[in-house]
């Protein structure tokens, strides 16, 4: 069967990664969570003390940017890939609230985006990939054979994220999480470079009132039709 590129974009906590991962497993495709890459660069800046009160020391970060190494390494036990930053597994650390609160400030930096987009394009050279993010269908792979744009109401998304964080043992309040979801929506959609928006040829998918299995069934069946026609 012909291999295609599947671009899944959308707002934070719309369940993009969950669906993308399942789709990749079912199709035996690679899966790339590009948000993890922006999160890893954010963690790097935080670790170096280059983000204070949400202000980034861009000069210091840009000097080190060429030396930042990002890699997805498969974890066979967990059946998923994990993000490594300069050789260290940072998969847990990049999901913390402190990273979520600062990542949008890192994602607006042109040079960071250029580096990460180039890496992402390299990962998709051989197709057979499901990539999720904010600009995959618009910038990274504008010619992707299948583009999906996921949405859900801010409250639904904050609720999902809140539960996830509590499950991991993080001490957060629902209001904090909702505020973060809204802030990121605003910054991600209004930034100058590659703002979050639906590609004109993407299909929109609102999953506010839909269970995971139902979503997956629909997207999977649609994907098979697209692959068939490609």
> Which residues of this protein are in contact with ligand DC, per CB under 6 A?
12, 34-35, 38-39, 103-104, 107, 133-135, 184, 188
Q: Nearest to residue 150, comparing CAs of 33, 23, 22, 19?
A: 19
- Strand-strand pairing, 129-133 and 88-89: unpaired
Could you give the strand order of the β-sheet that contains 203-206, starting from the edge strand earlier in sequence? 30-33, 129-133, 5-10, 146-151, 203-206
Nearer to ligand DC (CB atom), residue 124 or residue 133: 133
Nearer to ligand DC (CB atom), residue 75 or residue 230: 75
Least separation in angstroms between residue 169's CB and ligand DC is 19
SS3 195: coil
How far apart CA 17 and CA 147 sit, in angstroms, is 14
Least separation in angstroms between residue 38's CB and ligand DC is 4
Nearer to ligand DC (CB atom), residue 151 or residue 227: 151
How far apart CA 51 and CA 93 sit, in angstroms, is 16
Least separation in angstroms between residue 63's CB and ligand DC is 22
Least separation in angstroms between residue 181's CB and ligand DC is 9
Least separation in angstroms between residue 117's CB and ligand DC is 8
Nearer to ligand DC (CB atom), residue 128 or residue 195: 195
Nearer to ligand DC (CB atom), residue 2 or residue 168: 168
Nearer to ligand DC (CB atom), residue 198 or residue 227: 198
C-alpha dist (Å) from residue 64 to 41, 44, 50, 86: 11, 10, 11, 12
DSSP code at position 202: P
Least separation in angstroms between residue 182's CB and ligand DC is 12
């Amino acid at each position: 069967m012909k291999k295609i590129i599947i671009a899944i974009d959308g707002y934070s906590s719309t369940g993009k990664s969950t669906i993308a991962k399942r789709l990749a497993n079912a199709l035996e495709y690679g899966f790339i969570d590009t948000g993890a890459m922006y999160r890893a660069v954010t963690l790097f800046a935080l670790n170096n003390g280059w983000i204070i009160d949400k202000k980034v020391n861009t000069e210091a970060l840009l000097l080190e940017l060429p030396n930042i190494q990002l890699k997805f390494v498969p974890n066979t036990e967990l059946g998923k890939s994990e993000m490594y930053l300069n050789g260290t597994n940072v998969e847990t650390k990049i999901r913390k609230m402190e990273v979520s609160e600062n990542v949008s400030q890192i994602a607006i930096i042109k040079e960071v985006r250029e580096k990460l987009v180039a890496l992402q394009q390299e990962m998709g050279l051989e197709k057979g990939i499901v990539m999720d993010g904010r600009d995959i269908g618009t910038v990274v792979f504008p010619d992707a054979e299948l583009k999906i744009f996921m949405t859900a109401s801010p409250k639904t998304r904050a609720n999902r994220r809140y539960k996830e964080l509590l499950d991991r043992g993080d001490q957060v309040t629902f209001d904090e999480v909702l505020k973060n979801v809204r802030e990121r929506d605003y910054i991600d959609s209004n930034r100058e470079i590659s703002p979050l928006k639906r590609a004109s040829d993407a299909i929109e998918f609102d999953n506010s009132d839909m269970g995971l299995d139902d979503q997956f069934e629909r997207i999977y069946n649609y994907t098979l039709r697209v692959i068939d026609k490609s």
